């Protein structure tokens, strides 16, 4: 009979559906899923970039300013 009871969560879910509506919840779920996918993609891109730096590949570019340190 604690906070982990299944019927407590059923009541909370029912209240959330009544407040927000199913269409808005579906849209929020899609937005959250898209954000998670973009985050995972960015993390994979970062890992690829780090691996390229470790292999010592040369990056071509043009020097526009030269400063002495």
Write out the DSSP string of 24-57: HHHHHHHHHHHHHHHHHHHHHHHHHHHHHHHHT-
How far is CA 64 from its chain centroid?
36
pLDDT, average across residues 32-57? 76
Determine the Cα–Cα distance for residues 18 and 12; give it in Å rounded to an integer.
10
Determine the Cα–Cα distance for residues 50 and 53; give it in Å rounded to an integer.
5
Confidence of residue 35 (pLDDT cuts 50, 70, 90): very high
Determine the Cα–Cα distance for residues 68 and 20; give it in Å rounded to an integer.
60
pLDDT, average across residues 46-57? 62
pTM exceeding the 0.75 threshold for the entire prediction: no
- For the chain, percent of residues with pLDDT exceeding 70: 71
pLDDT, average across residues 40-64? 69
Average pLDDT over the chain reads 79
């Amino acid at each position: 009979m604690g906070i982990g009871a299944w019927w407590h969560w059923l009541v909370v879910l029912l209240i959330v559906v009544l407040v927000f509506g199913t269409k808005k919840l579906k849209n929020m779920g899609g937005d959250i899923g898209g954000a998670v996918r973009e985050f995972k993609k960015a993390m994979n891109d970062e890992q690829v970039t780090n691996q390229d730096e470790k292999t010592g590949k040369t990056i071509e570019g043009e020097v526009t300013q030269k400063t002495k340190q």
